Structure 1
Amino acid sequence: MTEVPTSHLPLRIEDITAEWLTSILTERFPGTIVTEAHIGTVIAGTATKVRLLLSYNAAGHAHRLPPTMWLKGGFIRHAYTFDDSFVNEAKFFASWAPEMNIHIPRAYWSGWHDEVQGLVLMEDLSARNVSFGDARRLITIDQQAQTLELLARMHARWWQSPELKTLRNFSTVWQAADRVVMMMLEPEYFDACMNHRRCAAYVGPYRDRDRIKAGLRMQWKRSVEIPQCFSHGDAHLGNMFFETDGRPGFLDWQAWQEGPYMHDVAYSIIGNLTVADRRSAEKDLLAGYLEALKTHGVATPPSREDAWEAYRRHAMHGFMWPFTPLEMQPIEIVTAEGDCFGAAVADLDTFGALGV
């Protein structure tokens, strides 16, 4: 799949028609005609997700196309709408997804036009009764170990690979996004968050705006010091699903990039577990992840000591959870994640690890 004309990409929900769906599905499923298309549930967030109720001609049924799918892209716009993230996800499903060795949703079509729109037509996971991750329902230590095995398998596949040099890099992306991130630390907004329940777990130096800025910038700077891999980029619980047998998978590929292995790992461990479980299991979980890297082909994974220091530093990224604008995540989610990361940065002395 390559970039498509803007005329081929609906920008409004009402532009999603049976005729348009027919035109894209026939690319991979010849002869398919969508005879009826109805809009079901619409979920507005960073991206808009539209559930489609579909009927087909005989060819569509012969291809075993399902009666429901989700179309994801930029339909409902707000102050934190980033078109490049929608384009990025469409490119992932067109290029990297076929090589991915972990559990992800099936995409029936993806298309984009840079700086305009990116769309992915994907399977309806609820049709097979999966459950979706939610920070209000944190997972068990055993489930987190399975999640880290999944990440290790993906990370090992392109560990320090020259293939990644065509991609954006975590440090470059976040340093370039400095202005956007720092908008969340503007005095008025920062103070409003700090005085709200969402930041109740933030204590002592972790309420100091200048040190927070310095910590973020130092983490971005130092992230290039550790091995780089293919990174999901946003591996929090809300971007996961679990099959009925408990097998985990990852959703939402808007932020994939080349990045430090510990970005996904720390973000996942700290944000997915209760504070008590994280405190009791984090070192064992890190050790298990490092062993999984070796199992999946990384000859010399980082030492436990190096991984621990990287883990302490990388808690800084998830620290920004309770400052997340509510156009992007519900208040209950940002508060739950703030509780996790607020405790973690204090436990781990993240500012000390970063030298700020």
Structure 2
Amino acid sequence: MQYAIADHHSDIMVNRLHDFTVTWAQRIVKRHCLETRVKNIELISADVGTTTRVRLAVDHDGPESLPRRWFVKIPSLAWRARLITALPRLLHVETRFYRDIAHAVPLARPALLAAQSRFGKGATLVLSDIAESGALPGRAGEALTLPQAAAVVEQLARFHAAFWGIHHDRNYRWLGGPIRRLEDTLGTLMAVPLMQLGLEKAAGAVPARLHRAALHYARHRRRIMQFLNGGTQTLIHRDCHPGNFFWSDSQPGFLDWQLVRIGEGVADIAYFLATALEPELRQAHERPLLDLYRQTLAAHKAAETAPDLLWQRYRAHLSYPFEAMVATLAIGGMMEENANLEMIRRAACAISDLDGFEALAEA
């Protein structure tokens, strides 16, 4: 069997569901195996959120190593989500991540089949479907167990350690370039109205005592983000809620890299523990889980962080998952609402328990 060098110039861009054709699939297969012929393609499902996520069954006569179940991300077919994600080019970022960085990331993730982005035209990302290997997808809003939480924390520590001090490497500077600066600017401009609307829609999920502090955070978001980005820099996922994992033999894999960036590693830990654990479990185990994170970092040659400092930074970083979940609710159509409300409830409880907004007093 002859394998082709990827033809990065063949057009695989898709913007509508009826663009998924045998001819389109053949272009992708040709990148991996010249002699393989696509016989049929079937659309299994299409889920519209921040992107449109499509699952396909592709019948071909190629080797077993070439997947027959594909997972494709294209720009959202929902106009509101598309508008929110278009300017910061979130799908373009994920496409570039899979194309240029993913091979160096020591985490389980879907295999890349094809990726293409074009300024002003959108992006298309084609991955193997985790269902083909028997992995189970996570669900937004589900509560993880303590063994699952420990597995995620350990994997995040290995990931962060692998990219410790990354801001010195010019190959990754694009992650903090104009696209991220535009995203941060838009986030700051929209912070107050989104926080106001999100708090109103969240109703009882956020205690009234948090409203004033949440709006203060939104008004001072630019300065607070500078403070939160002040720690040791590494590569971070920045969207570690339970819907962005998959599970294989009790080990987590990581999905949805649209928000990947250079930042402080404990930000991922705060986001994860605030959204994925029921408050009682988090309250009982967050310090041991932070110790596990710190010890695993050290075991993988990352610079050691003092426990007290790590705890303080963890508390401060709880502000972002709270904002992210409230803003998601305010925008609407980006996540199933009950799952969104559940993660708002958990994040609100975490930031209230640990006086997370007060931990930003230094900002």
Shift of 1:229: 0.4
Q: How many residues align?
A: 348
For the 8 Å contact 1:230–1:258, the answer to whether it is kept is: yes
Asked if 2 retains the 8 angstrom alpha-carbon contact of 1:234 and 1:264, the reply is: yes
**Which SS does the other structure have where 2:357 is aligned?**
helix
The reply on whether 1:316 has 2:319 as its aligned counterpart is yes
- Retained in 2: the 8 A contact 1:155–1:261? yes
Match of 1:71 in 2: 72
What amino acid maps onto 2:190 in structure 1?
Answer: M
1:233-262 C-alpha deviation (Å, 9 max, x unpaired): 21211100111x211110111111111112
8 Å CA contact 2:140, 2:244 repeated in 1: no
Distance 1:171 1:135, change over 3 A: farther
**Mapping for residues 169-208 of structure 1, pairs under 5 Å:** 169=176, 173=180, 176-180=183-187, 182-183=189-190, 185-186=192-193, 190-197=195-202, 200-208=205-213
| Alignment root-mean-square deviation, CA | 2.4
1:130 alignment counterpart: 135
Distance in 2 (CA, whole Å) between partners of 1:78 and 1:207 is 31
Give the aligned partner of residue 112 of structure 2: 107
Q: Quick check: 1:50 aligned with 2:54?
A: yes
* CA spacing shift, 1:47–1:150, aligned 2, 3 Å: same
Name stretches of at least 5 consecutive residues in structure 2 with no aligned partner.
1-5
Q: Is the 8 A contact 1:171 1:224 kept in 2?
A: no
In structure 2, distance between residues paired with 1:248 and 1:202 = 32
TM-score scaled to structure 1, two decimals?
0.89
Mapped pair 1:228 → 2:215: no
Q: 1:341 pairs with 347, 356, 360, which one?
A: 347
Q: Which residue does 1:41 correspond to in 2?
A: 45
CA distance in 1, matches of 2:293, 2:178: 23
Shift of 1:32: 2.1
Q: Do the aligned residues in 2 keep the contact of 1:201 with 1:339 (CA within 8 Å)?
A: yes
Task: Summarize the Cα distance change of 1:2–1:169 in structure 2 as closer, same or farther, 3 Å threshold.
Answer: farther
Query: What per-residue deviation string (whole Å, max 9, x for no partner) do you get for residues 141-184 of structure 1?
Result: 22111101110111000101322652323999367534345435
**Which stretch of structure 1 is more off in the superposition, 27-36 or 96-105?**
27-36
Aligned pair in 2 of structure 1 residues 2, 350: CA closer, same or farther (>3 Å)? farther
* Distance across 1 between alignment mates of 2:213 and 2:160: 34
Does structure 1 conserve the Cα–Cα contact (< 8 Å) formed by 2:70 and 2:126? yes
Query: What are structure 1's unaligned runs of at least 5 residues?
Result: none
How far residue 198 of structure 1 moved from its aligned partner, in angstroms, is 5.2
Is residue 269 of structure 1 aligned with residue 270 of structure 2? no
Amino acid at match of 2:77: I
Give 1:2 deviation, angstroms: 9.1
Which of 253, 258, 261 is residue 257 of structure 1 equivalent to? 261
Output the amino acid matched with 2:309.
D
Q: Give the conservation status (yes or no) of the 8 Å contact 2:152–2:252.
A: yes
Report the AA paired with residue 333 of structure 1: A
Percent identical residues:
23
Which residue of 174, 178, 187 corresponds with 1:167? Answer: 174
Q: Take 2:268 and 2:121, find their aligned partners in 1: how far apart are those partners?
A: 28
Cα–Cα, structure 1 residues 159 and 229, in superposed 2: closer, same or farther, change >3 Å? same
- Note the alpha carbon deviations across 1:49-68, whole angstroms, 9 max, x for none: 111121113xx2x3532332
Which has the higher mean CA deviation after the structures are superposed, 221-230 or 111-120?
A: 111-120
Scaled by the length of structure 2, the TM-score of the pair is 0.88
C-alpha distance in 1 between matches for 2:146 and 2:102 = 28
Taking a change above 3 Å as real, the CA distance of residues 294 and 281 of structure 1, as seen in their structure-2 partners, is same
Q: Which moved more, 1:216-225 or 1:249-258?
A: 216-225
Mapping of 1:296-311 within 5 angstroms?
296-298=300-302, 300-311=303-314
* CA distance 1:181–1:126, shift in 2 (3 Å): farther
The 1-side partners of 2:43 and 2:191 are apart by: 34
| Structure 1 residue aligned with 2:3 | none
Letter in 1 for 2:252: P
1:279 to 276, 283, 290: 283
The alpha-carbon deviation at position 214 of structure 1 amounts to 4.0
Q: Deviations over 1:11-32 (max 9, x none)?
A: 2111121111111221222222
- What letter corresponds to residue 159 of structure 1 in structure 2? W
C-alpha change, 1:42 and 1:63, in structure 2 (3 Å) is same
One-letter amino acid matched to 1:276: E
**Compared with structure 1, are the counterparts of its residues 211 and 191 closer, same or farther at alpha carbon in structure 2 (3 Å cutoff)?**
closer
Q: Check the 8 A contact 2:192/2:215 in 1, yes or no.
A: no
SS in 2 for 1:145: helix
Contact 2:50 2:76 in 1 (8 A): no
Match of residue 118 from structure 1: 123
